[in-house]
Amino acid sequence: MEVVRAGAALSSPAWGILCAGLDGMRERLTYEELVAPVRERMMRIIWRIVRNPDEAEDTMQEVLTLVWKKLDRISRHPYPQALVLRICVNSAVDALRKQRRERRFVDSQILDRLPASDSDGWEQRETEAMIREAIGRLSRNQAAAVLMRILEGQSYGEIARALGCREVTARTHVLRGRAKLGRWLSHLRSSATEEVFP
Amino acid sequence: MRSDKPIRQDLERLLRTAFPDDLPADAEEMMGRQLDRFRQRWVEKEREDALESIRSRRWTAALIRISLAAVSVLFIILGLRLRASSPQADLGSSLASLQQAAYFSGRIMDFQSMECAVRLDRPEEPSQQFFIQWISPEETRVRLIRAGEETVRTVHPPKPERSVLELIVKSGPDETVATSRLEAELRPVEGLLSSAQLRKLLDGRWRLAGTERRDGCDWKSFSVSRVSDASPSRITVDTCTSLPIRLEKDVGSGEKIEALFRWVPRSEPRGLLFHRPVSRGAAETTPS
């Protein structure tokens, strides 16, 4: 059950003024209206990006704090659940960037001590790390757009609503993000997908 | 574009493989607990807000009820005060007086013929008597008795439509006097010289002063106040004929006039007053 504000699809100025006036009178959404319908998706998307139990817990905490802080704004948003999912993706990408910074230091210490027999596992982890690093290098909107498109399989319209932009802009974010990833990960594409992830 | 498609597919496969959808049960349970705690706090906050809102609404409702009660009490008090002061009676009597004044004024205009005996009392001087007869709207005869001497004057009261020139041309050389150059001795009775002047004299605020019963008719006394006069006139009206029968008025410097009216129907012969001396009382001044 997705909450969609009545009249959100209409774009006439008069309707906009009317909605703006009515928005001030609207009450906050309840947990059952806002969070319950996207509860599973929130958990899955955070885990998929972060892939670490502690980081996932911290990210979920941050997401819930943000949702509570911005509840009035979210309640007035035409697609409040899409906005909540965007908060999840953004927070997870932020966590990913943080992981990227920490890993640079940790990996340099751990890799020296890894045994030679563990080289396959090391390569897999190294590939994952490169992909994560590449995602972390993207801008916030591009990372969110690419992950929502590729991992969540969302349409450009859904991405646009979540990002609060036009559909064309959402499409541009996805294309540019994908182009950058393609460049940065060109050396992994054909070989790595077959060899590293058979 | 065709060459981009495999690259894109490769990249998407790479990303999906790097970010698999494999939420482990322990992570799901842990995040689920977080969400449950969040839900619990949310519900508690909603309950608190609802209670606060109910409390606020109760206060508002109580305040409105108190205000309404206060306003109701105020209106009741106002109503009782208004009722106690009986403004309707004042207003009613005022309207009735106004109506009567207008009616009497109209009656005076209808009766163009009037005879009137006037006594002028002056301090430390003998009384003067005037006998006034409206001959026509344009002619009035005045018989003045002062210190045993009798003088007759004919006065032509001005009509609003008459010009000053016309008045001068029509006025007689000796005994005929136009009111525009009225002699000083006739000044005290100026307001009685024509129906228009009498109406003007009685044009004021009428206030009922008393009622007495005479010969089956009510004689109503009114106090007539005018802005221009310091002292009000007192007029007595016969309710059977709706015509004035007596007028008393202070004309200043201790002078006081008392006039007794006799309204003559058109068919009745006139001039009776000119053959009989006048004394106090209407019965004596009017012929039987």
Give residue B74's pLDDT.
95
CA-only gyration radius of chain A, Å: 20
Higher-confidence residue of B278 and B101: namely B101
- Note whether A34 contacts B: Cβ–Cβ < 8 A: no
Judge whether residue A83 has pLDDT over 50: yes
Residues 6+ positions from B162 with CB-CB distance below 8 Å: B138
Residue of B7, B11, B30 to mutate for A, most A C-beta atoms under 10 A: B11
pLDDT confidence of residue B200: 80
pLDDT, one tens digit per residue, over B200-225 is 887 777 777 888 877 778 888 888 88
Weakest-pLDDT range from A53-57, B109-113, B258-262: B109-113
Residues 6+ apart with CB under 8 A from A127: A188, A192, A196, A197, B18
Q: What is the mean pLDDT of residues B116-138?
A: 84
Nearest CA in chain B to A151: B16
A140 touches chain B (CB under 8 A): no
Question: Residues A28-56: what's their mean pLDDT?
Answer: 90
Q: Do A64 and B34 touch (CB under 8 A)?
A: yes
- The mean per-residue pLDDT over the stretch A24-48 comes to 85
Higher pLDDT, A180 or B187: A180
B27: chain A residues, CB-CB within 8 Å: 43, 47, 53, 56
Q: How far apart are CA B256 and CA B227, in angstroms?
A: 19
The DSSP bridge partners found for residue B120 are B128, B257
| CA–CA separation, B223 and B217 (whole Å) | 19
Q: Give the pLDDT band of residue B277 (cuts 50, 70, 90).
A: very low
Q: pLDDT band at residue B14, thresholds of 50, 70 and 90?
A: confident
Which helix (H) or strand (E) is B130 found in, with range? strand B128-136
Partners of B134 in the beta sheet? B140
Could you report the per-residue pLDDT of B133-189, keeping only the tens digit for each? 888 777 888 888 887 788 888 888 776 544 444 444 454 444 444 444 567 778 888
Residue A69 has pLDDT above 60, yes or no: yes
What band does B37 get if pLDDT is binned at 50, 70 and 90? Answer: very high
Q: Which residues of B are less than 8 Å from A132 in CB distance?
A: 18
Q: How far is CA A140 from the centre of its chain?
A: 9
What was the pLDDT predicted at A135? 87
Question: Rounded to an integer, what distance in angstroms lies between the CA atom of residue B88 and that of residue B109?
Answer: 31
User: Mean of the pLDDT values across residues B1-17?
Assistant: 70
Asked whether the beta carbons of residue B17 and residue A193 sit closer than 8 angstroms, the reply is yes
pLDDT by residue (tens digit) across A163-172?
888 999 999 9
| Summary mean pLDDT of chain B | 76
Considering only residues B108 and A67, tell me which one the structure prediction assigns the higher pLDDT. A67
Q: What is the mean pLDDT of residues B233-237?
A: 86
Residue B38: what residue type?
F
Answer with the residue of higher pLDDT: B68 or B282. Answer: B68
The pLDDT of residue B272 is 47
pLDDT score of A189? 57
Cβ A162 vs Cβ A83: under 8 Å: yes
Residues of B with CB under 8 A from a CB of A: 7-8, 10-21, 23-24, 26-28, 30-32, 34-35, 38-39, 42-43, 46
Residue of B3, B10, B14 to mutate, testing the A interface (most A Cβ within 10 Å of its Cβ): B14
Q: Which residue of B has its CA nearest to A67?
A: B38
- Please, what is the Cα angle at B146 between B142 and B147, to 5 degrees? 160
Q: Using the predicted structure, report yes or no on whether residue B65 has a pLDDT greater than 50.
A: yes
Q: Number of Cβ pairs closer than 8 Å across A and B?
A: 94
pLDDT tens-digit map of A120-164: 566 777 777 788 888 888 998 999 999 889 888 889 998 998 888
Q: Over the stretch A112-121, which tens digit does the pLDDT of each residue have?
A: 544 544 555 6
Amino acid B162: pLDDT: 47
Q: How confident is the model at residue B278 (pLDDT cuts 50, 70, 90)?
A: very low
| A93, A147 contact by CB (below 8 A) | yes
Is the reported ipTM for this assembly greater than 0.85?
Answer: no
Q: CB contact, 8 Å: A60 with chain B?
A: yes
| pLDDT band for position B9 (cuts 50, 70, 90) | confident
The answer to whether A127 contacts chain B (CB < 8 Å) is yes
Can you give the pLDDT at residue B6? 64
Higher confidence at residue B52 or residue A126?
A: B52
Say which range, A114-118, A123-127, B72-76, B97-101, has the weakest mean pLDDT: A114-118
CA distances from A87 to A55, A62, B61, B73 (A): 15, 9, 42, 59
User: Is a pLDDT exceeding 90 seen at residue A57?
Assistant: yes
Is the pLDDT score of B249 beyond 50? yes
Decide if A57 and B26 are in contact by the 8 Å CB cutoff: no
Q: What is the CA radius of gyration of chain B?
A: 47
Q: How many angstroms separate the CA of residue A13 from the nearest CA in chain B?
A: 34
Q: What is the 3-state secondary structure (H, E, C) of A6-74?
A: CCCCCCCHHHHHHHHHHHCCCCCCCHHHHCHHHHHHHHHHHHHHHCCHHHHHHHHHHHHHHHHHCHHHH
Count CB neighbours of B258 within 10 A. 16
- At B154, give phi and psi (nearest 5°): -115, 125
Residue type, A117: S
